[in-house]
Structure 1
Amino acid sequence: MSISLTVLPLRVLHHIQRTYAPSVFETCLHYLFHCFWASPGINLTRPENMVKALAEVPVGFKGGEISIGTERLFNGEDVKALMAAAASQEVKDVLKATTQEAPERGAFGAPWLWATNSAGEAEPFFGGDRFHFIYKFLDLPFQDVALLPPAGQEKQEEVLKL
C-alpha cells in the first residue's frame, strides 16, 4: 500500500513542471512512469529510490526504451536541488492546491483528466476507457480500436467449408 502514496514523486514533478522546459518535464514524467510500472517496479515513495531514478533519467526518454544513450537529464547537483524543492513548503502548498482543485472541478474518482484543446476549451474526462474521446477532443491523431474475429473462428470457418 505504501507504494501508492505518491506524494514525493508528485512534488518533484510539480517542481520540474514549474521550473524547467516542458520537454524536461515530459521526459522526466515518462521515465518515472517507466520506473514505477515496468518490471520490477521501483518504489518511488522512498527518497533514496527517487534520487537514483532522477539521476538516471536519460535525455530524450519517451517511454519504453531500455537504454537510449548515456547522457542524463539531471546531474548530481540538480537532483539534490529537486529533492530539496520537493521538501519545501512552497512545493507542498502547490501540490495541496492542485489536489484540492480536482474535487472543486467535480472529480469523483481516478483517473480524472481535465483537458484543454487548442481552442482553449476545457473538458473533464473520467475513466481509463475514455482516451479516444480525449484524443478526439484534443484533435490528436490516433488509431481507434478495431474488433477482430474470436480466436480460432477463421480456422473453424475453413473446416466448415471443407
Structure 2
Amino acid sequence: MGGHIDLYLDIASLYSYIALIQAIKTQDLLKQHSVEIDIHPFFLGAVNAGSGNKPPWTLPAKAVYGVHDSRRSLHAVGLSNVSPPGDLMQAGRTMVPLRALLYIKAHFPAATYLATWRALFHAFWTLHQPPITPETLEDTLSSIPANTNVASSSPPETLRKGQDGERLFSASEVAEILRAEKSAEYKNTLRETTQRALDQGAFGAPWLWVANAATGASEPFFGSDRWSHVYAFLGLPYQDVELLPPGAAKGSEAKL
C-alpha cells in the first residue's frame, strides 16, 4: 500500500467543492494507509480551452440532468444552500483567487490553506460573492474566522468588517497575499500547474492523478464520484455501494 493523490480543483467548479469536502474528510485515514493527498489550484477555463471541452451547463441535455445530479451529490456530502452565482462564464475567471491559494499553500500551514479553500467556495457558491477580483478577494480573506472548522459540512462562518473575532489572516497578511497573487511568480505557477494537469490528460474538474507506491503505476481519474476506483487502484480496503435484501435498512440508513 501507499501512494500519492494529486487533486486539482477550481473554485468555479461545483464538483471541485464536493471533492474538497471528500478529501478533507478522508485525508487522515489516507495517511494511515501511507497515502498523501496534495490539493492543487488550477484554472478550469484554460483546461476546457486546452482540451476542447465545454462546461456541462452550456449543453442543454447536460444542464437539465445536472440539476438532479448536483442536488444528489451535494446532499451526499452534507452541503446545502449552494447554487450558481449568476453568470458562470464571468464568475469563472478565477485566476486571482487561484494564484492567492498558491501563495497561501507555500507560506501558511496546511490547515490555513484548507480553511481558505472552504471560505472561497462558500463565498462563490453560497454567498454569491465570487472572490475573483482583488477587492472581493480581500473582503473574503478578511472575513475568515481563525477557528474555521474545515472538516464540518456546515457553512463556514464569516466575520463582517468591524465585527469582533480573531481572523485567520491579519490585515498585513491579506495585503501580502494580494501583492503576491499579482506577481509573475504566481502567475507562472498557476500556468505551470494547469499545464501539468493538461499534460496528464485533464479535461475538467476535479482532476486526480494517482500514484501507487507499491506498483510504481500512475493513472488519471476524473470526478468527485470515483473514489472507490482510486482506492481499488491503490489497493486500499474500502466498502463499495451494495444492494441490501428486502427488509434491511432503507435510504440513508442503508449507507455503508
Aligning the two structures, in what range does the TM-score lie when normalised by the shorter sequence? 0.7 to 0.9
In the superposition, relative to structure 1, how do residues 24 and 131 fare at CA in structure 2: closer, same or farther (>3 Å)? Answer: same
Q: Which of residues 69, 86, 92 is equivalent to 1:4?
A: 92
Deviations, residues 63-119 of structure 1 (Å, cap 9, x unaligned): 524438922110111101000000000111111110110111121333312245786
Tell me which amino acid in the other structure corresponds to 1:75.
S
Q: Which residue of 2 aligns with 1:31?
A: 119
The secondary structure found in structure 1 opposite 2:220 is: strand
Aligned ranges 1:140-159 → 2 under 5 Å: 145=241
Tell me which amino acid in the other structure corresponds to 1:93.
N
Q: Note if contact 2:142-2:174 (Cα within 8 Å) is conserved in structure 1.
A: yes
In the superposition, relative to structure 1, how do residues 80 and 68 fare at CA in structure 2: closer, same or farther (>3 Å)? Answer: closer
Q: Which of residues 109, 119, 127 is equivalent to 2:223?
A: 127
Higher mean displacement: 114-123 or 74-83: 114-123
CA distance in 1, matches of 2:234, 2:145: 28
Q: Which residue of 1 aligns with 2:157?
A: 67
Q: Which consecutive unaligned segments of at least 5 residues does structure 2 have? A: 1-88, 160-164, 245-249, 251-256
In the superposition, relative to structure 1, how do residues 57 and 141 fare at CA in structure 2: closer, same or farther (>3 Å)? Answer: farther
TM-score by length of 2: 0.50
In the superposition, relative to structure 1, how do residues 135 and 67 fare at CA in structure 2: closer, same or farther (>3 Å)? Answer: farther
CA distance in 2, matches of 1:91, 1:5: 16
RMSD of aligned alpha carbons: 3.1
Higher mean displacement: 29-38 or 73-82: 29-38
TM-score by length of 1: 0.75
- In the comparison of the two structures, how many residue pairs are matched? 149
Q: Note if contact 2:209-2:219 (Cα within 8 Å) is conserved in structure 1.
A: yes
Q: Which residue of 1 aligns with 2:206?
A: 111
CA distance in 1, matches of 2:234, 2:166: 33
In the superposition, relative to structure 1, how do residues 111 and 146 fare at CA in structure 2: closer, same or farther (>3 Å)? Answer: same
Q: Note if contact 1:5-1:45 (Cα within 8 Å) is conserved in structure 2.
A: yes
Q: Which residue of 2 aligns with 1:21?
A: 109
Q: Which consecutive unaligned segments of at least 5 residues does structure 1 have? A: 149-153, 155-162
How far 1:128 moved relative to its partner? 3.2
Report the identity percentage.
Answer: 40
- Indicate yes or no: 2:53 matched with 1:53: no
CA distance in 1, matches of 2:209, 2:224: 13
